[in-house]
Amino acid sequence: MELDTKLVHAGYEITAASGDVVPPLHLATTFEQRAQDDLRYFYGRGENPTREALERCLAALENAAHALVFSSGQAAGATALSLLRPGQRVVASDDVYGGTFSLFKTLTKYDIRVDYVDLTDLAAVTEAMADDVAMVWLETPTNPLLKVADIGALAELARRYEALLLVDNTFASPVLQQPLAHGADITLYSTTKFIAGHSDVIGGALVYNDDSLHGEFFGYRTAAGNIPGPLDCFLTHRGLKTLSLRVERQTRTAQHIVELLRGSPKVGAVHYPGLEEHPQRHVVERQMSGPGSIVTFEYLGDVQAMMNRCVLFACAVSLGSVRSLVECPALMTHRPIPEQDRLRLGITNNIVRLSLGIEDPHDLAKDLTDAL
Ligand X SMILES: *Cc1c(COP(=O)(O)O)cnc(C)c1O
Cβ atoms of residues 137 and 151 within 8 Å: no
In the bound complex, what is the minimum distance in angstroms from residue 188's beta carbon to ligand X? 7
Cβ atoms of residues 267 and 261 within 8 Å: yes
In the bound complex, what is the minimum distance in angstroms from residue 338's beta carbon to ligand X? 19
Q: What is the DSSP string of 287-305?
A: H-SS--SEEEEEESS-HHH
**Which has the closest alpha carbon to 7: 245, 184, 325?**
245
Task: Examine the residue annotation and report whether 193 is marked as an active-site residue of this protein.
Answer: yes
First to last CA, the chain: 44
In the bound complex, what is the minimum distance in angstroms from residue 9's beta carbon to ligand X? 26
Task: Examine the residue annotation and report whether 45 is marked as an active-site residue of this protein.
Answer: yes
Cβ atoms of residues 214 and 66 within 8 Å: yes
Return the SS3 of 124. Answer: helix
Task: Examine the residue annotation and report whether 97 is marked as an active-site residue of this protein.
Answer: yes
Nearest residue (beta carbon) to ligand X: 73
Q: Give whichever of 318 and 349 is closer to ligand X, judged by the CB atom.
A: 318
Q: Give whichever of 48 and 226 is closer to ligand X, judged by the CB atom.
A: 226
**What is the CB neighbour count within 10 angstroms for residue 339?**
12
DSSP letter for 151, please.
H
Q: Give whichever of 251 and 260 is closer to ligand X, judged by the CB atom.
A: 251
Residue from 168, 185, 232, 367 carrying the catalytic annotation: 168
In the bound complex, what is the minimum distance in angstroms from residue 146's beta carbon to ligand X? 12
Strand ranges for 65-212 from DSSP E:
66-70, 89-93, 113-117, 133-139, 164-168, 186-190, 204-208
Q: Give whichever of 50 and 79 is closer to ligand X, judged by the CB atom.
A: 79
In the bound complex, what is the minimum distance in angstroms from residue 193's beta carbon to ligand X? 6
User: CA 303, CA 18: separation in Å to the nearest integer?
Assistant: 55
In the bound complex, what is the minimum distance in angstroms from residue 87's beta carbon to ligand X? 26
Q: Give whichever of 182 and 353 is closer to ligand X, judged by the CB atom.
A: 353
Task: Examine the residue annotation and report whether 168 is marked as an active-site residue of this protein.
Answer: yes
Q: Give whichever of 287 and 361 is closer to ligand X, judged by the CB atom.
A: 287
User: CA 296, CA 200: separation in Å to the nearest integer?
Assistant: 24
Residue from 12, 41, 94, 97 carrying the catalytic annotation: 97
Residue from 6, 89, 193, 246 carrying the catalytic annotation: 193
User: CA 9, CA 2: separation in Å to the nearest integer?
Assistant: 10
325-327 vs 204-208, strand pairing mode: unpaired
- Binding residues for ligand X, rule: CB under 6 A, are 72-74, 97, 99-100, 139, 143, 168, 170-171, 190, 192-193, 202, 204
Residues with a catalytic annotation lie at 45, 97, 168, 193
